[in-house]
Structure formats: C-alpha cells, structure tokens
Amino acid sequence: MEKVIEVRHLVKKFGSFTANDNLNFDVYQGEIFGFLGANGAGKTTAMRILCGLSSPTSGEVKVSGYDIYKETEKIKRNIGYMSQKFSLYEDLTIAENIRFFSGIYGITPKNRKAKQEVLLKNLDIESSKDSLIGSLPLGWKQKLAFSVAIFHDPKIVFLDEPTSGVDPITRRKFWDLIYEATDRGITVFVTTHYMDEAEYCNRVSIMNDGRIEALDTPENLKKKYSAKNMDEVFLKIAR
C-alpha cells in the first residue's frame, strides 16, 4: 500500500528539551490513524511538523511524497486540517467560507461551484448557504468544517481533537463522515482524548515523553497489554 506519511528518526528539540525523541512510523493511504498520548507527550509538536508548520531538528519526514524540509508549500496544498478551535470564520456565511478556502487552495470558480453544490447537497444544507456560520448549531459547524477541510481533495486530513465538547450523538455522526472520507481514499490522521474513538481507528500510536511507546491495531494492542478496551491500554502505557 502507498505510504502517505513516512517518518524516520524524527527528533525535535526546543533548547535542552526533547519534544520528539526519535519517532519512526508510516501512515498508509486510506487508513484512519489515531495519534494518541498524554498532554505534553509531544503530539502537537509532531503534528505541526507533519503539516509543514515547523522543521525537525533532525530526521527524515515525507508527507504525501514531499520532503518536509524543502517542499513545505507542496505539502500544505496536499493536506487538510481541522481542529475544534480553528475551523471556519463565524462572521462569514457558509458560501463565503467555501469561497474563501477555495481561493486559498487555488480552486477555480467553475470547479468550486460544482463542488459546492455537491457539498451542500450531501450535508442537506442547500437552503442555509447564506446563513452566517456563527448562527449554526455546533454539530453543523463541525460537519461543515470537516467538509471544507477536504474540499480541495487532499490526500490526507489532520484532525486535532475534532470532537471535543460535542454531544454523544453528534460525536458519532462525525465519525460517519470520517468513514465516508476514507471510502473516498482520503487518509485520516486524528488525535482524540476519547478512548472509545481510538477503537474506530485502523491503527493507533500512543506517545509518552516524546517517544512512540506503542503502535498497532486496537485489537493487537488490547491483546498485547491484556486490556479489555483502549482506555486500559492507554492507562497502562501513559501512567
């Protein structure tokens, strides 16, 4: 299978502090890769590097085939990003947000119109396209933010705690969207503090003190740590 992310001997230091200590892993096309770890374990640092926002101290990293040192602009064009905190502009309408992000990613107006129609139809919000984002329920905003994050058909989408703070039904509906995206061949790289969501990933890595302590399918991790669920696996590794 095609590797969408390749990380070899990734080290990132801030002064004397080592945030990422020799990370090695691959992420394959179309998989849902869960990136877990305690607060301060080094997840955000690694994710910023993968998104081309920060350079490693040493090591080799390729994201959708591009080199993290020399080709960060190409990387940014080929990835999508969404978090609970940064999503859409609240004081723009749905259509305006789509136009804005299309412009950033260089999607032609003609192309945009066709894609926008599909997006609005899929989310069943055609009649609300001129509503301000700020006026929408949180569940809608989140679905829309995800759809906009993959609007330019990136190979991979990074989701940073996308479901924090939403109700349990909305949280599950959001995972339906993630599955649909992987059906289209998009690779999903996701962080979460909900351990039940770790079960929905194809593979999961767990970081602790800057290192990846475990990386496998949820099934194999549970066997290896003789745990009945991912919560127990996490507690055993991170405590």
Partner 1 sequence: MISIHHISKSYSDVQAVRDISLEVKNGELFGLIGPDGAGKTTLMRILMTLLIQDEGTASMGGFDVIKDYKKIRNMTGYMPGRFSLYQDLTVEENLNFFATVFKTTVAENYDLIRDIYIQIEPFKKRLAGKLSGGMKQKLALSCALIHKPEILILDEPTTGVDAVSRKEFWEMLKKLQQKGITILVSTPYMDEAMLCNRVALMQKGEILDIDTPQKLVENYTRKLYAIKSDDMHRLIQDLRSYEKTDSAYAFGQFLHVTGKEDEVEATEFENYLLKKDHPGLQVFDIVPGIEDVFMELLQEQ
Q: Which residues bind partner 1 (CB under 8 A)?
A: 37-41, 137-138, 161, 164-170, 172, 175-176, 179, 183, 193-196, 199-200, 218, 229-231, 234-235, 238-239
Q: Smaller CB distance to partner 1: residue 146 or 234?
A: 234
3-state secondary structure of 119: helix
3-state secondary structure of 203: strand
d(C-alpha 101, C-alpha 151), whole Å:
8
Contact 33, 206 (CB under 8 A): no
Q: Smaller CB distance to partner 1: residue 104 or 138?
A: 138
CB of 12 to partner 1, least distance (A): 17
d(C-alpha 168, C-alpha 174), whole Å:
10
CB of 59 to partner 1, least distance (A): 24
CB of 38 to partner 1, least distance (A): 4
Q: Smaller CB distance to partner 1: residue 70 or 85?
A: 85
What count of other Cβ atoms lies within 10 Å of the Cβ of residue 143? 20
Q: Smaller CB distance to partner 1: residue 38 or 92?
A: 38
d(C-alpha 46, C-alpha 43), whole Å:
5
CB of 83 to partner 1, least distance (A): 11
